[in-house]
């Protein structure tokens, strides 16, 4: 996922070849740059840590030519597991990486792990509208689409559907779970093994706690939803 920001040009940040311009602006306006801030995409995991360390070193290279810097803000992007196959980000390894690169530097570190904290605290509950076979695919459609939670479609970060009702003899069969927006890309999950739901059943979409309400839209005028805070 780090490739999202790394392999194509994006509108974000200051590119290395722009450093001389940035430095001359700093000098021209007599600025004291106290903080450097970077954020390298969303959902990084253990296999991305090497690339993340390389990005950190680019930022530290910039910090070295700005002696007024006191704070390095490491941004967010900490990945959480989305499927049973995903691994937990090894925070011990992450902190050793910081120690290796920053120990003795004197910088104050800031982090923005918003998604990491809230992602698995929220679920989106939708109702099954229809179950039907088209071509070679068994579609389960629900009464909410990517406009209520864009991450599965935008970033391929699934909010896996889980049945709210368990029945006896629930054989798992592959289904494609689709939303109610008039776009073919509006799919929550493809070929996922699920006990076949009935119309009216509820499905809980897990890991919906980050970027759901905040990124929701009124696409197809289907933007209505309500949020409930569950305290235990």
Ligand X SMILES: Cc1ncc(COP(=O)(O)O)c(C=O)c1O
Please report, as ranges, the residues that interact with ligand X according to CB under 6 A.
39, 42, 75-78, 112-116
Give the nearest residue (CB) to ligand X.
76
Q: How far is the CB of 77 from ligand X (least distance, A)?
A: 5
Nearer to ligand X by Cβ, of 86 and 183: the residue is: 86
Nearer to ligand X by Cβ, of 175 and 208: the residue is: 208
Q: How far is the CB of 10 from ligand X (least distance, A)?
A: 11
Nearer to ligand X by Cβ, of 10 and 172: the residue is: 10
Nearer to ligand X by Cβ, of 89 and 181: the residue is: 89
Q: How far is the CB of 189 from ligand X (least distance, A)?
A: 21
Q: How far is the CB of 196 from ligand X (least distance, A)?
A: 34
Alpha-carbon distance of 21 to 41, in angstroms, equals 25
Q: How far is the CB of 40 from ligand X (least distance, A)?
A: 9
Nearer to ligand X by Cβ, of 188 and 211: the residue is: 211
Q: How far is the CB of 147 from ligand X (least distance, A)?
A: 19
Alpha-carbon distance of 42 to 84, in angstroms, equals 19
Nearer to ligand X by Cβ, of 53 and 183: the residue is: 53
Alpha-carbon distance of 200 to 119, in angstroms, equals 26
Closest to 149 measured CA to CA, from 215, 82, 220 = 215
């Amino acid at each position: 996922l780090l490739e999202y920001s790394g392999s194509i040009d994006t509108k974000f940040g200051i590119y290395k070849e722009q450093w001389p311009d940035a430095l001359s602006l700093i000098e021209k306006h007599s600025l004291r740059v106290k903080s450097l801030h970077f954020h390298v995409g969303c959902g990084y995991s253990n296999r991305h840590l090497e690339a993340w360390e390389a990005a950190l070193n680019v930022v530290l290279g910039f910090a070295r030519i700005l002696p007024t810097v006191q704070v390095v803000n490491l941004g967010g992007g900490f990945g959480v597991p989305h499927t049973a196959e995903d691994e937990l980000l090894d925070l011990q390894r992450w902190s050793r990486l910081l120690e290796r690169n920053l120990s003795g530097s004197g910088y104050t570190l800031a982090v923005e792990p918003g998604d990491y904290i809230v992602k698995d605290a929220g679920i989106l509950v939708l109702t099954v509208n229809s179950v039907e076979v088209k071509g070679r695919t068994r579609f389960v459609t629900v009464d909410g689409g990517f406009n209520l939670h864009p991450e599965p479609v935008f970033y391929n970060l699934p909010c896996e559907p889980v049945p709210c009702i368990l029945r006896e003899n629930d054989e798992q069969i592959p289904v494609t779970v689709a939303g109610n927006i008039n776009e073919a890309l509006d799919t929550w999950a493809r070929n996922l093994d699920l006990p076949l739901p009935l119309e009216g059943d509820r499905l809980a979409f897990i890991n919906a706690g980050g970027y759901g309400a905040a990124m929701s839209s009124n696409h197809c005028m289907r933007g209505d939803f309500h949020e409930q805070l569950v305290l235990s």
